[in-house]
Structure 1
């Protein structure tokens, strides 16, 4: 797997996941919306830790700076 997530993209994904987790923790979001957003948050965290997004690979996109 080649790295295709840049630092800014990684930061935004992690921040979004933390915000979603906070909204869930404080019961601001509930029900199906909560479950859906938590699944998205988990995907954001995993892709951030791996520095790889499968959708970026499919669309041949990379947010990494060109060397």
Structure 2
């Protein structure tokens, strides 16, 4: 698969995942909310690590800057 996430998009997802983790570990969220947000966190981390967002593919969205040919 072709990468379709730029560095800002990836960084925002990691920061969002960290924020959710902090809320969980400080007992601000629990139960079903924690479970759902935990799944979202895992998805954010996987997609930002791989730089591929499956939801962007059918919409033909890319936040990644293309390399300039010298």
Q: Same fold (TM over 0.5)?
A: yes
Structure 1 outlier segments of 4+, above 4 Å: none
User: Which one has the largest radius of gyration?
Assistant: 2
The gaps in structure 2 that reach 5 residues or longer are: none
The gaps in structure 1 that reach 5 residues or longer are: none
Give the secondary structure class of the aligned counterpart of 1:13: helix
Counterparts of 1:31 and 1:14 in 2: how far apart (Å)?
23
Give the secondary structure class of the aligned counterpart of 1:54: coil
Relative to the length of structure 1, the TM-score reads 0.94
Larger fraction in helix: 1
| Residue equivalent to 2:29 | 29
| Residue equivalent to 1:48 | 48
Q: Once superposed, what is the RMSD of the aligned Cα atoms?
A: 0.9
Relative to the length of structure 2, the TM-score reads 0.91
